[in-house]
Amino acid sequence: MASPERNVQLRYIILDACMAQAARDASVVWTKEALLQEVNRQLREDNPATKPIAMRTLEKDIVDMETLYGLRIERARSAGKVHFAYAAGYEGMHRANFSENEVALAHRFIQAMDRFKGAPAWDGWLRSRLALQGQLGLIGSRLPDAEWQPRVVESPLSKDERWWYETMVRAAFERTPLHMAFAPGMGDRLERVAYRVDRLVHEPDGVVALGTAWDAEAQSLFHLIVQLNEITSLDAVAVEWPETSEPEACNWDVHAANRMALTPGVVSPSEAVVPVRVWVADRLAQRFLKEPMHGSQDMRIESAAEGVIFNLSLVPDAQFVRFALQWGSDFQVLEPDDVRHALRLATREASDRYAPMFGP
């Protein structure tokens, strides 16, 4: 069940969105009854086990938001009922009107965090720091209200990723095995294993967990990569973990370095790194000369037929096939033959999907 502290902040976020909507659109009316219904609906959607809040809790939340965030919430009466909206469309928690002491505290916190420059998670903090400084008016002078808008926009975690992320991170650092149920490929089939997560990786397609799984029914230990979006349940209650010797440790750094991207599923030790030769058209080759397509790319190149030949060493799995096909006629695999065959099959399947549905 979500903690009370988490629920409080989530309630603030829901109320903030409702009252900002009412401030921007005069046709939107949020009465106390409507706000209570909406807050409880979203809380239940976030966690079905969450108990609904009472009207007095909602009223206290509104007063607390005004005090904590310096917000101006207007109360107007229409059709005999009080309805709520921000005083202006630019109001909201994201503006966070700081007092002088709070501004100084934010500066001290940022300065303290900057001492860790170069730490493994530094890129994430750098993005967060700059977005927060700009958002809270700590970069330059505060923009006029009419000019305020988000200036840094990142891809957010999905609802499922956000739900499981903290549990996974804590389990990784505490080395705690978890009961995990997940649906491979987000399909209908459900798998249940005990899972000890080693690390989380942010991939373009979402966050993936890398770790070791124990299938009690098959009495089998194996390495498993799972997308957080595929997970349906996690808990750490009375997890059965075998005392037998574990499978040979997986070097996740090497595993990732040998691939274009991580593929969810059971890790196969039989996948081999092979040399791959590719031809790239001149207009695309300049991109890969500046930013290599893969860590194994040999910068000793050959010119050929209005393009460049690159040599790679990697596992030519489904992720490599996806990578190769996205460039269309500007990218061609020359060797090995079995990879060319896999690409030929993939392009044929894609072509067949777009054959005429009716008639010639």
The whole-number pLDDT of residue 5 equals 57
Contacts of 146 (CB under 8 A, 6+ apart): 90
Residue 81 sits in the same domain as residue 140: no
Rounded Cα distance, 211 and 222, in Å = 9
Nearest to 57 by CA among 11, 5, 20: 11
* Predicted pLDDT of residue 1: 40
Cα distances from 239 to residues 133, 172, 293, 341, in angstroms, run 43, 15, 41, 44
For residue 311, give the CATH number of its domain.
3.30.70
Give the domain range for residue 203: 161-266
Q: In the predicted model, is pLDDT for residue 4 greater than 90?
A: no
- Establish if 21 belongs to a structural domain: yes
Lowest pLDDT segment from 25-39, 51-65, 119-133, 250-264: 119-133
Using the 8-state DSSP alphabet, how is residue 105 labeled? H
Asked if 152 and 131 touch (Cβ cutoff 8 Å), the reply is yes
Looking at the fold, whether 260 and 288 belong to one and the same domain comes out as: no
Q: Does residue 60 belong to any structural domain of this protein?
A: yes
- For the chain, how many structural domains are there in total? 4
Across 314-323, average pLDDT: 94
Residue 155 domain flag: no
State the CB neighbour count (10 A cutoff) for residue 185.
11
**And the tokens for 103?**
């501004």
pLDDT of residue 148: 62
Same domain, 32 and 129: no
Which tens digits make up the pLDDT trace of 169-196?
Answer: 999 999 999 999 999 988 889 999 999 9
Quote the pTM value.
Answer: 0.70
pLDDT at 20: 85
Distant-in-sequence contacts of 145-154, Cβ < 8 A, 24+ apart: 145/88, 145/90, 146/90, 148/90, 148/95, 150/94, 152/127, 154/127
Predicted local distance difference test score (pLDDT) of residue 269: 82
pLDDT in tens, 191-212: 999 999 999 999 988 999 999 9
Residue carrying the six token digits 């991939």: 203
Q: Which residue, 88, 70, 73, 89, is CA-closest to 136?
A: 70
Same domain as 174, residue 202 = yes
- Is the pLDDT reported for residue 129 higher than 80? yes
- Among all chains, which residue has been given the structure tokens 């790679």? 312
Calculate what percentage of the chain has a pLDDT beyond 70.
89
Average pLDDT of every residue of the chain: 86
Task: Report how far residue 48's alpha carbon sits from residue 233's, in angstroms, rounded to the nearest whole number.
Answer: 13
* 185/208 Cα distance (integer angstroms): 12
**Inside any domain, residue 29:** yes
Percentage of the chain lying above the pLDDT 90 cut: 50
In terms of domains, do 260 and 169 share one? Answer: yes
Flag whether 41 is in a domain. Answer: yes
Contacts of 287 (CB under 8 A, 6+ apart): none
Clarify whether residues 29 and 83 are in a common domain: yes
3-state secondary structure (DSSP) of residue 189: coil
Stretch 299-312: mean pLDDT, rounded?
92
Q: Which of 118-132, 250-264, 312-326, 330-344 has the lowest mean pLDDT?
A: 118-132
Domain final residue, candidates 205, 234, 266? 266
Closest CA to 211 of 174, 260, 156, 157: 174
Let me know whether 179 and 237 are in one domain: yes
Task: Write the pLDDT tens digit of every residue in 338-358.
Answer: 999 999 999 999 888 888 876
Residue 26 covered by a domain = yes
Residue 83, domain CATH: 1.10.10.10
Q: Would you say 22 and 28 are in contact if contact means Cβ atoms under 8 Å apart?
A: yes
Task: Identify whether residues 227 and 165 lie together within a single domain.
Answer: yes
320 and 254 in a single domain? The answer is no
Q: Is residue 153 part of a domain?
A: no
Q: Where is the domain boundary, 73, 95, 117?
A: 95
Do 303 and 342 lie in a common domain? yes
SS3 label, residue 124:
helix
Note whether 18 and 76 are same-domain residues.
yes
Would you give the DSSP letter of residue 185? G
Domain boundary among 233, 266, 299: 266
Residue 210 within a domain:
yes
pLDDT band at 228 (very low <50, low <70, confident <90, very high): very high
Nearest to 292 by CA among 300, 59, 348, 141: 300
| One domain, residues 62 and 119 | no
pLDDT at residue 2 in the model = 45
Q: How confident is the model at residue 271 (pLDDT cuts 50, 70, 90)?
A: confident
